[in-house]
Amino acid sequence: MEPIRETMKRVVNAPAFSERYSEMRKEVLEHPGVQQFLEEHSAEIDKGIVDRSMGKLYEYIDQSHDCNKCPSLGECINHLKGFEPNLVLERETIGIAYTKCRLKTNADNKRQASSMIHSMYMPKEVMQATLSGFELDDSRMEAFRAVDAFLDEATGPDHLPEKGLFLYGKFGIGKSYLLSAIANELAEMRVKSVLVFVPEFMREMKQAIGDQTLQEKVDYVKKADVLMLDDIGAEAMSSWTRDEVLGTILHYRMAEKLPTFMTSNFSYSELQHHLTYSQRGEKEDLKAARVMERIRALTIPVKMDGRNRRT
């Protein structure tokens, strides 16, 4: 039997193999990334090192760089999906170190951003809202400018404006959408937001008394870095939910100067009227005024108008 070394030598020296190797070597040495690396390390790299490293150099050029051969992260062609090769010099040979690529970095950032938003009963399609998708017209410009001013002042979780916005106007004009778009913008700054659909939240608070989770849920909401209360005033407010749930949450946030956003079909004065009357028809002016005092302290009112975008 022919020794393996002799077999390998014969294969390597075969004309067809030599020709393919020459073509591969030429392709490798003409690659811009390889040329740049060799130029940067010209004082340390000689022909012998290049020859010994030809396998790694070919592995390098055969992959995607800066995602130029990958339509998406899922279609990444690299040996390590989501990581791109970089040439490194190690012990008189050239090797490869893999670093996270642009597509994976963007995907990870989006995943981290989405983890910054906790939604309670908000529709999934609303949670994907973006400011770029917010249709601008004269009736919505004031709201957009107010949001822009808030975001300009916000630089991260440790520097947020004390006051949020009270976005009010008729049904279907994009208040909830804008609320979610703000949350997504803040998430990019690593600011955590809790979005709450108020009518459903209040219903759950009544049930939470029975399963003894009331305090835990109220504490979670009231201590959010940024709290967004959607559709306040749409619920049938009882004295208890107004004073012990909503009032408690707002009082804490006012004391701690935590930014709070709200949307409503009601203006301040209309909401106060709504809060004045309990489900039993009792008129409680003082208690409603107390809740409204906290809402005014926490938010800046901004009216939105325009066509109903749900029809």
Q: Quick one: residue 212, left, alpha or beta (phi over 0 = left, psi -120 to 50 = alpha)? A: left
Q: What is the pLDDT of residues 66-106, one digit of tens each?
A: 999 998 988 999 989 999 999 999 888 999 999 989 888 77
* Domain match, 122 and 52 both: no
> Rounded to an integer, what distance in angstroms lies between the CA atom of residue 253 and that of residue 194?
13
> Rounded to an integer, what distance in angstroms lies between the CA atom of residue 34 and that of residue 57?
7
Is residue 186, in this structure, part of any structural domain at all? yes
Q: With bands split at pLDDT 50, 70 and 90, how would you rate the model's confidence at 11? A: very low
Is residue 90, in this structure, part of any structural domain at all? yes
Number of domains in the chain: 2
Quick one: pLDDT at residue 116?
A: 60
What one-character DSSP code corresponds to residue 241? I
Residue, of 177 and 109, whose pLDDT is higher? 177
Helix (H) or strand (E) holding 89: strand 83-89
> Rounded to an integer, what distance in angstroms lies between the CA atom of residue 120 and that of residue 230?
10
Is residue 258, in this structure, part of any structural domain at all? yes
The residue segments making up the domain with residue 271 are 115-303
Look up residue 198 and give its two tokens: 């108020």
Cα 19 to Cα 14, 24, 50, 221, 273: the distances in Å are: 9, 9, 18, 70, 88
The residues pairing with 299 across neighbouring beta strands, listed in sequence order, are 164
Q: With bands split at pLDDT 50, 70 and 90, how would you rate the model's confidence at 222? A: very high
Is residue 26, in this structure, part of any structural domain at all? no
> Rounded to an integer, what distance in angstroms lies between the CA atom of residue 279 and that of residue 159?
40
Is residue 229, in this structure, part of any structural domain at all? yes
Of 77, 104, 131, the position where a domain reaches its end is 104
The pTM assigned to this predicted structure is: 0.67
> Rounded to an integer, what distance in angstroms lies between the CA atom of residue 218 and that of residue 224?
10
> Rounded to an integer, what distance in angstroms lies between the CA atom of residue 113 and that of residue 117?
7
Percentage helix, strand, coil, to 5, in the chain?
55, 15, 30
Looking at 2-137, list the stretches that DSSP marks H as alpha helix, in order from N- to C-terminal side: 4-13, 15-29, 32-40, 47-52, 54-61, 102-114, 124-127
* Domain match, 46 and 172 both: no
Give the CATH number of the domain where residue 123 resides. 3.40.50.300
Looking at the predicted structure, is the pLDDT value of residue 152 above 90?
yes
* Domain match, 142 and 214 both: yes
* Domain match, 215 and 285 both: yes
Looking at the predicted structure, is the pLDDT value of residue 279 above 90?
no
* Domain match, 95 and 120 both: no
Count other Cβ atoms within 10 Å, centred on residue 284.
Answer: 16
* Domain match, 121 and 158 both: yes
* Domain match, 137 and 71 both: no
Q: What is the pLDDT of residues 245-272, one digit of tens each?
A: 999 999 999 999 999 999 999 999 999 9
* Domain match, 286 and 138 both: yes
Of 75, 104, 133, the position where a domain reaches its end is 104
* Domain match, 93 and 228 both: no
Look up residue 302 and give its two tokens: 């901004």
* Domain match, 183 and 219 both: yes
* Domain match, 167 and 277 both: yes
Residue, of 122 and 67, whose pLDDT is higher? 67
Look up residue 191 and give its two tokens: 């600011």
Percent of all residues in the chain with a pLDDT value above 90, rounded to a whole number: 51
Is residue 16, in this structure, part of any structural domain at all? no
Quick one: pLDDT at residue 161?
A: 95
* Domain match, 266 and 151 both: yes
